Amino acid sequence: MSVATVSRALNGSASVTAQTRRRIAGVAARLRYVPHATARSLVTRRTHTIGALLPDLFGEFFSELIRGIDLAARARGLQLLVSSSHGDAAEAATALRAMQGRVDGLLVMSPHVDTRFLREHLVPALPTVLMNTSVEKGYASLNVDNYGGAQAMTRHLLELGHRDIAFITGPADNFDAAERLKGFRDAMAAPARARQLQGDFSEESGYRAGRQLAAMRDRPQAVFAANDMMAVGCLYALIEAGVRVPDDIALAGFDDIPIARYINPPLTTVRVRIADLGQGALEHLVARMETADLPSQRRTLACEVVPRASSGTRTAPPVPSSIHHRPKSRSHRSPGEKQ
Amino acid sequence: MSVATVSRALNGSASVTAQTRRRIAGVAARLRYVPHATARSLVTRRTHTIGALLPDLFGEFFSELIRGIDLAARARGLQLLVSSSHGDAAEAATALRAMQGRVDGLLVMSPHVDTRFLREHLVPALPTVLMNTSVEKGYASLNVDNYGGAQAMTRHLLELGHRDIAFITGPADNFDAAERLKGFRDAMAAPARARQLQGDFSEESGYRAGRQLAAMRDRPQAVFAANDMMAVGCLYALIEAGVRVPDDIALAGFDDIPIARYINPPLTTVRVRIADLGQGALEHLVARMETADLPSQRRTLACEVVPRASSGTRTAPPVPSSIHHRPKSRSHRSPGEKQ
DNA sequence: AATTCTTATGAAAACGTTTACATTCGGCCG
DNA sequence: CGGCCGAATGTAAACGTTTTCATAAGAATT
């Protein structure tokens, strides 16, 4: 048997006698032969691997994101090379270079990425999909609809009758934060009164905002925090000050982190289907990998308002009777747990 | 310039004139030249990549684990190929094969992995470190000290004066669950009374156990759930039934998931430094990669009891004044947040 | 029975590096 | 001034596949 025949037999493709094929398969199994992926890649110019460049790996968000990516990748027989924790643009560039030639496509999410950075460090031949970045054009991207989500939540609060709403902002230079603020502003109609408190996405900044709110003489009727962690901090400040939620003031957040439904009162928030974001981004990427010169497309992932008790909605009763009706969460498990 | 000289210049190693080196570096930069990693791997037989085979990617646990691995890998200039979501042994085997030849070393954590599986699907030449598996010998491994942690927590409850303690078990076939149960049993001394309630790590099973406890006439003084999610479910059942925690019954969990400190009362639990687990496993792996034929070593990662209000400890006051004194958590952030 | 066609297999080039070995060249020593 | 040595560079083999092209052997056609 020549190597050529073996190659053909193992790849199943070409014309090989059933007998030969069986014989080769038998020998291969007996020898525990596994084709050398690297050598194969060298000649086929495909690695069957996609790279994911992430800013970080902290917390539920990235866990869900990777899960979505991995799920979609596995379904297509693709391997996943992850790289994260790059604190600055230089590190991101290094990570990018290291992936060069190892991957068939790239998923990029990073606060350090802008158009110039990409032009400089990305070879144009490598299919790439950006996730949640502010890069304007020329690149394919998939973004969370921060704007739409914030708008929807604001409308939800307005519909509940609140007219005077405060918004706790995220960090000034943050893309998501900016979009959420814009959504809030644009949804606030003429008769309503919008205010802003500065935050930075941290729980502590939410706590500070909550203290400010509690101290106000003309307190707003509702407060909408740009993310859940600030909402949590704010809630504690309000409780501490004896301001009741939602009776004295309604509260809403953004992200639907797991603890959102566990705090008391459960937090009204905007749910982002993060796994879908990863999955969608990967599928988008695969499409670009298969069809060269696909026009770069910008897509957006919808999010949804999840009304809970903190906004005063009269939907489900609070904890505990509701806990068994919420979507089954596998989020917090011990390591080895099986299905 | 011949390719050989270029190779030498770029790898910095051999004897190349400073002038030539500069010239080559200049041209390479101008051409945006990046060496083809695959070709390089083919000849050097090193991929500078390590593979991580995980059972799943749900939740905080795996997020932290990957983070730890990634951190350590980055520090050594290694890439990280992750593979997860394999529901059964066959899928795990496929994933393992796919990594063959792509990685210099392997980190394996999977409920489907046993000694036989490994012997069958793992080439002995590939350095491997197992994480949290029950595999007995012949392989290097790093395990969480479930046994010690459970023992420590049980002692903590005993020290608080509780003599009659119930344990909510995890799934019967789960390795972590079994170890935790054993730790509990062994720590319960003669005069104390130990009971067991069946659980399966799910919140719902904890809830059921809580209802049972609430209905008992000779209720135990404390209950120790094999993981935090069951503790949470149990807590809600107790609250619902009007049983006060910790006044009527003390409660403890295991894992220290993020919500543990947010529920009311904050949950006493056992903290596992998951990122350290990943980091330690990778370092262990690197050691094995560098030194061939290192004797396979089994190591264990300590965990610590985190006393909070649910066990009745008089340490920190409950929420909210404590929230700013706890270790800084970056766990729940919006995606793009920067430092 | 000779020619052509088909089909299965083999031979060899190619992928882009690294590296052992060969070559060249200048300078130093005798 | 010639041979030798060392440093710098070039040549070519090797890594393990895939794939193109050639070849061999039957089968089918005439």
Q: From the CA of B15, how many Å to the C1' of C20?
A: 15
User: What is the average per-residue pLDDT within B45-64?
Assistant: 89
Beta-sheet pairing, B164-168 with B128-131: unpaired
**A222-225 and A164-168 beta bridge pairing:** parallel
pLDDT value at A297 more than 50: yes
For A29-48, write each residue's pLDDT tens digit.
998 899 999 999 999 999 99
Quote the pLDDT of residue B174.
87
d(CA B133, CA B251): 28
pLDDT digits (tens, 9 = 90+) for A246-286: 999 999 999 998 889 889 899 999 999 999 999 999 999 99
B280-284 CB contacts, 8 Å cutoff, 24+ apart: B280/B68, B280/B142, B281/B69, B281/B107, B281/B129, B281/B131, B281/B142, B282/B50, B282/B68, B282/B69, B282/B72, B282/B73, B282/B78, B282/B107, B282/B129, B283/B72, B284/B129, B284/B140, B284/B142
Say whether A329 sits in a helix, a strand or coil: coil
Confidence of residue A14 (pLDDT cuts 50, 70, 90): low
Chain mean position to CA B36: 34
- C-beta of residue A144 within 8 angstroms of C-beta of residue A301: yes
Residue A304, H or E segment: strand A304-306
Q: CA distances (Å), B290 to each of B51, B68, B286, in order?
A: 16, 20, 6
Decide: helix, strand or coil at residue B327.
Answer: coil
Q: Which residues from chain B sit within 8 angstroms of residue A81, using beta carbons?
A: 49, 79-82
CA distance A65 to B39: 31
Nearest chain A alpha carbon to B121: A32
The neighbour count for residue A43, using CB atoms within 10 Å, is 9
- Both tokens of residue B99? 């990594």
In Å, what is the separation between the CA of A15 and the C1' of C4? Answer: 21
Q: Encoding tokens for residue B131?
A: 């994480």
CB–CB of B57 and A70 under 8 A? Answer: yes
| Strand ranges for A69-190 from DSSP E | 79-83, 105-108, 128-131, 140-144, 164-168
Q: Which two tokens stand for residue B269?
A: 């639990």
Largest separation between any pair of C-alpha atoms in chain B = 89
Q: Best mutation site among B235, B240, B332, B338 for testing chain A: the one with the most A CBs within 10 Å? A: B332
CB contact under 8 A, A207 and B323: yes
Q: How sure is the predictor about B335, in pLDDT bands with cuts at 50, 70 and 90?
A: low
Strand D: positions under 7 A of a protein C-beta atom: 7-12, 14-20
Query: Cα–Cα distance between B314 and B158 in angstroms, integer?
Result: 15
Selected residue with higher pLDDT from A155 and A12: A155
In this prediction, residue A151 carries a pLDDT of 97
The pLDDT value given to residue A186: 96
CB distance B338–A111 less than 8 Å? Answer: yes
Judged by phi (left if over 0) then psi (alpha if -120 to 50, else beta), residue A201 lies in left
Coil, strand or helix at B97: helix
| pLDDT above 90 coverage of chain B, percent | 61
| pLDDT of residue B82 exceeding 80 | yes
Share of chain B above pLDDT 70, in %: 91
Cα separation, A122 vs B169, whole angstroms:
51
In this predicted model, what pLDDT tens digit does every residue of A208-247 receive, in sequence order?
A: 999 999 999 999 999 999 999 999 999 999 999 999 999 9
Q: What percent of chain A has pLDDT over 90?
A: 63
Residue B330: both structure tokens together:
């970056």
For the residues B162-180, what does the mean pLDDT come to? 94
CA of A8 vs C1' of C11, distance in Å? 15
Q: Structure tokens of A330? A: 């596998």
Question: Does the structure show a pLDDT above 70 at B2?
Answer: yes
Separation between Cα atoms, residue A80 and residue A99, nearest integer Å? 11
| Number of CB atoms found within 10 A of residue A19's CB | 8
Query: pLDDT tens digits for B310-331?
Result: 998 654 444 444 344 344 444 4
Question: CA–C1' distance B16–D12 (Å)?
Answer: 20
Cross-chain Cβ contact B338/A58 below 8 Å: no
Query: Where is mean pLDDT largest: A220-234, A287-301, A322-336, B189-203?
Result: A220-234
Which residues have CB under 7 A from strand C?
Answer: A 1-5, 8, 14-17, 19-20, 39, 42-43, 45; B 3-4, 7-8, 10-11, 13, 33, 35-36, 39-40, 42-44
Q: What was the pLDDT predicted at A249?
A: 97
pLDDT of residue A318 exceeding 70: no
